Structure 1
Amino acid sequence: MSGASVTTEDLVAWIHAFRDAVQQHKDELTRLDSEIGDADHGSNMARGLEAVVAKLDPAPSSPTDLFKTVGMTLVSTVGGASGPLYGTLFLRMGPALADADPVDAAALGVALRAGVEGVIARGKAEVGDKTMIDALSPALEAWDSAAEGGATPADAARAAAEAAARGRDATEPLVARKGRASYLGERSAGHLDPGAASATLLLEALRDALAADA
């Protein structure tokens, strides 16, 4: 990364960092999911991301190719709702970049918006439903605000990661309205949403990958 732009190599580093973060927090994600879900979010995500990383050698030649590979692999290897949702996120990001390489903060923000809108369309969730959208939506708003103010991609990623963490934490008192957790009704309150937790790891991994190369 040259400060103002992000290369394919930087984005590959992001995916590796996400894999590492999920592996590190796998048990925590599974614990969160055991409280309001199927108790498999951590193991499913870890398995899927190991499969993703295995597909990245040799590395894809462009961000579009990278995100297509990541998305298709997640759809095919991650069980439950997480595979289709995370897969959709990356599959929508790729075309939004229109083969640009490297990309600036604004372009990467456009790709992130396309990805998040894809997740919203697929999962039919909105902020307040106690899902990954509670982390992704504020992260996207923070990214756009930073990019519009002239922030570097690293600075935009830092702002997005902070917003995602706040969104994740805000899911604790919520009553789930989507997914398996919604079956619990009022009993789903008092627990962090595991999808919001893993989505925060995604943004924190981007922050770390771009900071390391800034």
Structure 2
Amino acid sequence: MAAAAAAVEREADRLTELDSPIGDADHGSNLLRGFRAVLPALDAEHPAAPGEVLQLAGRTLISTVGGASGPLYGTLLRRTGKALGDAAEVSDTELREALDAGVTAVAQLGGAAPGDKTMLDALVPGVAALSTSYRAAAEAAENGALATVPLQARKGRASYLGERSIGHQDPGATSSALLLRALADVAEPGEGAA
């Protein structure tokens, strides 16, 4: 979570810049507020298991992040954490399966699918590539975010713009790719970090 918070801190302005032409110009600032609240919450409660960490982080994001991002990222983390349960350690396979459950929950909550120009365009290929490696997951998510540029948004705030959403990279897909890159940097340090 510390690596994710650092990534959001570093990229908040860019996320807001991406959100300006197709959203409310607050994606970066909203996520920044949320992740700035996550680390103190974790320090205060000291959850022992990875699943508990993710559930607390998810609850914190829901309560502090405005717009759709709070509920969506909160759901992703809470459902992933719930799937992990209270195990003190989890395998790569268990994490991949738990993240898949989290992504499914996000899709259900938002009513979106890959190709709709949302965070799912990064999360779905990213989580699928976890079976190869964390680095492959980060790269797949980053490619998924870039692939939103020519898409017309079908869900979320950008969908109100219709064809005017074409030509802009989705900020939610971009922030999702940031989080998977943070996971890769922690899980596989020093292996081709970008």
Q: Which TM-score applies when normalising by structure 2?
A: 0.95
Q: Which residue of the partner structure matches residue 168 of structure 2?
A: 191
Total equivalences in the alignment: 190
Instruction: Give runs of aligned pairs for residues 1-214 of structure 1, distance below 5 A.
Output: 15-58=1-44, 59-144=46-131, 146=132, 156-212=133-189
Post-superposition CA distance 1:120-170 (Å, at most 9, x none):
0100100100000000000111113x2xxxxxxxxx211100100110000
Residue 60 of structure 1: CA displacement? 1.3
209 and 173 in structure 1: CA distance in 2 versus 1, 3 angstrom threshold: same
Structure 2 equivalent of residue 149 of structure 1: none
Query: Which residue of structure 2 lines up, in the alignment, with residue 10 of structure 1?
Result: none
What is the CA–CA distance in structure 2 between the aligned matches of 1:122 and 1:56, rounded to whole Å? Answer: 25
Report the residue type matching 1:205 in the other structure: A
The alignment's TM-score, normalised by the length of structure 1, stands at 0.86
Secondary structure of the equivalent of 1:174?
coil
**Which amino acid in structure 2 is aligned with residue 96 of structure 1?**
A
Mark the runs of 5 or more structure 2 residues left unpaired by the alignment: none
Taking the aligned partners of 1:169 and 1:37, their CA distance within structure 2 comes to 17
Shift of residue 213, structure 1, vs aligned partner: 8.9
Could you tell me the percent identity over the aligned residues?
56
User: Is the Cα–Cα contact under 8 Å of residues 52 and 85 in structure 2 kept in the other structure?
Assistant: no
Q: Distance in 1 between matches of 2:121 and 2:170?
A: 9
Please tell me the root mean square deviation across aligned C-alpha atoms, in Å.
1.3
Q: Distance in 2 between matches of 1:97 and 1:62?
A: 9
String of CA shifts for 1:41-66, please: whole Å, max 9, x gaps: 00000000000011111531111211
Runs of 4+ more than 4 Å apart: none
